[in-house]
A and B are shown apart, each in its own frame.
Chain A
Amino acid sequence: MSALLEVRHLRVAFETRRGPLVAVDDISLQIGEGEILGMVGESGAGKSVTGTAILGLLEPPARITAGEILLEGSRIDNLAPEAMRRLRGKRIGAIFQDPLTALDPLFTIGQQLVETILTHDAVGARAARDRALKLLGEVGIPAPEKRLDQYPHQLSGGMRQRVVIALALCAEPRLVIADEPTTALDVSTQAQIIELLKRLARTRGTAVLLITHDMGVIAETADRVAVLYAGRIAEIGPVREIVHAPLHPYTTGLMGAIPKLGALRSRLAQIDGAMPRLDAIPPGCAFHPRCTQRLAQCDREIPRAVAVDGREVACWLHGESSRG
């Protein structure tokens, strides 16, 4: 299976007066047709920056300093701004975190849908409106005719996120980047939006890069998951295996922090310390100061990703054994 999206050794840095701060360091991943790849990590782990880089929306001082991004086999990270603009929305859709602020408050839902459709496809105003209606129906908005002429403030948060999803799907992109699509919503609405994303990926064959800090969302939604720590991928592989048998000590710690019903522990396990700031990433494995299974070489050499049981993990615990 050829990958729909392939990211190769991506590095994104923020140029500052005191030198570059590397926010994304040597990230490689692939997403296949119709696949949902979860990307999980703490705030500042580089999840959103990766998503923004794929969309070509990085703004100075941030820029791609190394690596390649390929969509359907051709590079998109070096496209001219206008070519990249045409590609956005058309071949890569985006869903943003906060539906309350992602929609322009001064334009109706219909106006925003129609302008997006007309931007990407040469159809008449009538046809665009019809497609907007169909899209609203598809993302589960009741009485779409009525909603079309309403303003964002007249809709609830969940409804607005559905509108944002409809906007991302206007031109039927093959890939959607969903950056924390459920974080700003209450729990019951979260479940609905997750169901919607799964259904759309299944029925339309749309691939989704699902960025979230919520391992629970990933476990319910994603096919595969990439665990990010301090701008690097700690572990990437099928979600079921990573949830049930994490290999990287950081992933193990993350799983311990998910509350489980019926568990006997009265306190959740937590990882001591905090993720390092971008200007103070420790040498070697970035996780070693917090790691409970630290080895001698951990603070000297950055572990490379190695294949273990159908997944990849960047940790000396597993690197030695598989290479040895």
Chain B
Amino acid sequence: MIIDPVTLIVALITVATPVLLAAIGELVVEKSGVLNLGVEGMMIMGAVCGFITAQQTGSVALAFAAGMGGGMALALVFAVLTQVLMANQVASGLALTLFGLGLAALLGAGYSGLPVPSVTRPFPEALRDIPVAGPILFSHSILIYIAIGIVAAVWYVLTRTRIGLVIRAVGENHDAAHALGYKVVRIRFATILFGGACAGLGGAFLSVVRVQNWFDGMTAGAGWIALALVVFASWKPWRVLLGAWLFGGIAALQLRLQAADVGVPVALLDASPYIVTIVVLVIISSDRRRAALNAPAALGRVFHASS
């Protein structure tokens, strides 16, 4: 049996969206020179806050706002730890993931299985019924279009605006940026919060749109894939989109190959996103000059105004 490419594409776009949102947020954070390993924790906070809000208020828009708020609340903790108290970013990020998973489990206790409102699709039935293009372009929930919009906006801001230039300057050399009078800590606070909002939105998409339920630990490692994706995309926004669709595509394809009774080694396909990431890392690092151009030079380094 042949796999229908149209449904495959529709599925991979849905599968990719939570990771895409988290990764595009993390890209901005890393572009400003901060490595936040707490993506998983921020995502699950977004998932639980979004789900509880959707359940309580019946409003999907509020749920997405609450998801972003949940992610930002956790990101704020990270920002205070790393930017004000100057804690180690790697350790703080890992702690954030563990804290987020635990806190989300606590908040979400008792909410599993409760009903949530369904999410409206922005395009009318007539458009969705167009063969091939209809399902692929017009059949999704609103958040998927927003996610792609965020990618475009991040690309535009980072590469075409003054604010983007400042963010990149802070990420490349915070001492120089500071000497020029830019508020390094304030800018990084803003990017960290933006990253938290994106991760939270990705989590809310997972619980409110895709699964429509809340379970402990439901992000199941998506945050880590988002982190890998940023490296895979070598800190370029459109490549994050491509990478997310590639990873999502592999996941969606392997399930479809199984459903079509095609004898494929499932374990190999499951591992392939990670293999691809390693290959890309090897290719990137083989050319030292290019790697240096792409990775923010001040990534993960603590900034102290007097140093």
Specify whether A and B are partners: no
* B residues at A contact (CB < 8 Å): none
* A residues at B contact (CB < 8 Å): none
